[in-house]
Amino acid sequence: MNDSLVVDLARNALLLALSLAAPMLLVALVVGLIISILQAVTQIQEQTLAFVPKLAAVAMVFLIGLPWMIQTAVKYTTELLHAIPSLAS
């Protein structure tokens, strides 16, 4: 196992983690931006007002995207496990 193979495996794992987390992070970003604009316009500075909608939106995206996330993670893991014999030599 050479250095470039280890770097490639680590890069693929990080890209997978990023692609799995990106939808939830983007929804949290958009909802947080909308809530902060709403707070600035109405001058309501309540911390839970920003937290609860973000939590609900991220939970909805998580529940909707969970089958895709599991399928993607299982596919990556299966490919990695099938590649172990060729990686060991």
pLDDT digits (tens, 9 = 90+) for 60-88: 999 999 999 999 999 999 999 998 888 77
- Residue (of 45, 50, 48, 44) closest to 31 by Cα position: 50
Q: Rg of the chain over CA atoms, in angstroms?
A: 19
Q: In the chain, where are the structural domains located?
A: 3-88
pLDDT of residue 44: 83
- Say if residues 24 and 60 touch (Cβ distance below 8 Å): no
Query: What pLDDT, on the 0 to 100 scale, is given for residue 4?
Result: 87
- 47 band by pLDDT with thresholds 50, 70 and 90: confident
Query: Given this model, what pLDDT does residue 68 score?
Result: 97
Global pTM?
Answer: 0.81
Tell which residue, 30, 19, 69, has the closest CA to residue 53. 30
Q: What is the DSSP letter of 56?
A: H
